[in-house]
Amino acid sequence: MRRIRVCIVGGGASGLACARVFALDEYNCEPTVFEQNSYVGGQWHYDSDGTSETTAVYKNLRTNLPCCAMQYSDFPFPSNPPESYVDCKTVEDYLIAYAEKNQLYQYICLNTTVNSIDETYTVTYTVKCNSQYELPHRPHRKLLEKNENYAIYSEQFDAICVANGHYSDIYMPNDIPGLYNQTFPIIHSRSYRTPENYRDKCIIVVGASHSGVDICGELTSVAKQVILSMKEGNEASFELVIKLLQQSGKTICTDYLSTIFSIVPSIERIDRDTVFFKNQTSVKPDLIIFATGYEYRMPFLQGKLQVDQTRLLQDHYVYPLYKQLFHANFPDGTLSFLTIPYRIVPFPLAELQSHVVARVLRKKILLPSTEQMTFEIDNSSLPRNRTYHCVDCIKYVEDFLEMMRESDKDFKYKFTIDNQRCMRQQIQ
């Protein structure tokens, strides 16, 4: 049986899980991971100066999931109690240990940026020339260009798995009058690293998701005033984030409600040095931090491999994805996208999705036709906006478990998920 050559774009947690699964003997695949950085782990690598475009973790960040849920199905966190919430360095070390234990570095090309992937699954990629890192020998690659700084190659594969994450391209609102005529600095939370940089300042944080609320809590220890601007209707989400932060042991911004911290509605407009809110209040801040999330981007996909650009750029979701995993125009499963949804448990989900993709490629699972998949996508009740990819994690995983059920008889294990969202391999 011929080995299936699979290109995996991205060497973060999802890409590592994908490489591990595709390297299993039972799938007879040959994975190749292209990672643009000089390290694996993706967003979990801490960049102290805040200039990296591929990591958004800040110094005091702690996971919003306990280790027992966050871990891969067969690889527990080595030195941490299952109920603990850990920092980003612990997670990065965990991912490196996972790659080492499973001997994944033999499949990984570091310092390698994917430039384009065409309809023949020919990947064009650029490798930074670095005397400290030597690109593994690749018999299928063709040299296109080379100089002292980089080399450009092309290489054809049988399947593509996109695992480039969605915490790199920032989303900034474009509907705030006066936003770019202000006299004070604005940054995105991707650039935030430590609260010490904001001592004695008046700061507005826009966005009540996990990072926004967590950053507010950190800032209360040093700032003169911290104001959270939150959209109407986000109260339930805010309360959930507060609960998760309490569980992880972080400082909670609401503990300072009567002193430093306050909550206001959305920004109505900005007039140079003054921010006006929709409740007719205003403030002159030293800085605004936009914790407003990120965009999905796959600029390397060409021709028919592209996702719908109107929906991607205007409506902020990825279409047409069957089960939010497979490109519907490729019913053989040769173009897939890992961990696109949010409100998920990403590490084990990437692992599970990779098993599903591998079984589709090996025809252990058959996808519906393009027409059937597109019909199901178009007739779903999901909102056509950036909340399109917000899923109920347990139900989402159970859908995959059902897809795999018939093929499980051909393998020595199957997967389970409990009501705490912990996924495990179960020997049959």
Separation between Cα atoms, residue 396 and residue 333, nearest integer Å: 18
Do residues 284 and 274 lie in contact, with contact meaning Cβ atoms separated by under 8 Å?
Answer: yes
What value does the mean pLDDT take over residues 251-256? 92
What value does the mean pLDDT take over residues 171-186? 94
pLDDT value of position 82: 86
Separation between Cα atoms, residue 130 and residue 112, nearest integer Å: 11
pLDDT value of position 53: 82
Among the residue ranges 2-16, 223-237, 364-378, the one predicted with the least confidence is 223-237
Element (H, E) at 168: none
Relative to beta strand 159-162, strand 335-337 is parallel
Among the residue ranges 64-78, 134-148, 221-235, the one predicted with the least confidence is 134-148
Element (H, E) at 277: strand 274-277
What value does the mean pLDDT take over residues 220-240? 93
| Tens of pLDDT, residues 34-68 | 999 999 999 999 998 888 888 889 999 999 999 99
Element (H, E) at 353: helix 346-361
Work out the pLDDT band at 132, boundaries 50, 70, 90.
Answer: low
Separation between Cα atoms, residue 92 and residue 170, nearest integer Å: 22
Among the residue ranges 62-66, 183-187, 394-398, the one predicted with the least confidence is 62-66
| Tens of pLDDT, residues 66-108 | 999 999 999 999 877 888 999 999 999 999 999 999 999 999 9
Do residues 339 and 349 lie in contact, with contact meaning Cβ atoms separated by under 8 Å?
Answer: yes
The residue with greater pLDDT, 1 or 177, is 177
Do residues 55 and 211 lie in contact, with contact meaning Cβ atoms separated by under 8 Å?
Answer: no
Query: Is pLDDT above 70 for 117?
Result: yes
Query: Is pLDDT above 80 for 135?
Result: no
Query: Is pLDDT above 70 for 9?
Result: yes
Query: Is pLDDT above 80 for 263?
Result: yes
pLDDT value of position 236: 87
What value does the mean pLDDT take over residues 408-424? 94
| Tens of pLDDT, residues 297-337 | 999 999 999 999 999 999 999 999 999 999 999 999 999 99
Separation between Cα atoms, residue 15 and residue 419, nearest integer Å: 26
pLDDT value of position 131: 55
Query: Is pLDDT above 90 for 158?
Result: yes
pLDDT value of position 388: 96
CB-CB neighbours of 289 under 10 Å: 25
Task: Give me the residues paired with residue 151 across strands.
Answer: 127, 146
pLDDT value of position 34: 97
Q: What is the mean pLDDT of the chain?
A: 94
Residue 240, CA atoms < 13 Å, CB-side half-sphere: 10
Do residues 328 and 374 lie in contact, with contact meaning Cβ atoms separated by under 8 Å?
Answer: yes
What value does the mean pLDDT take over residues 224-231? 96
Look at the block and give the residue holding tokens 């980003």.
88
Phi and psi torsions of 258, nearest 5°: -85, 0
pLDDT value of position 133: 63
What value does the mean pLDDT take over residues 258-278? 96
pLDDT value of position 134: 67
Element (H, E) at 323: none
Query: Is pLDDT above 70 for 274?
Result: yes
Nearest residue to 50 via CA among 188, 191, 167: 191
pLDDT value of position 179: 94
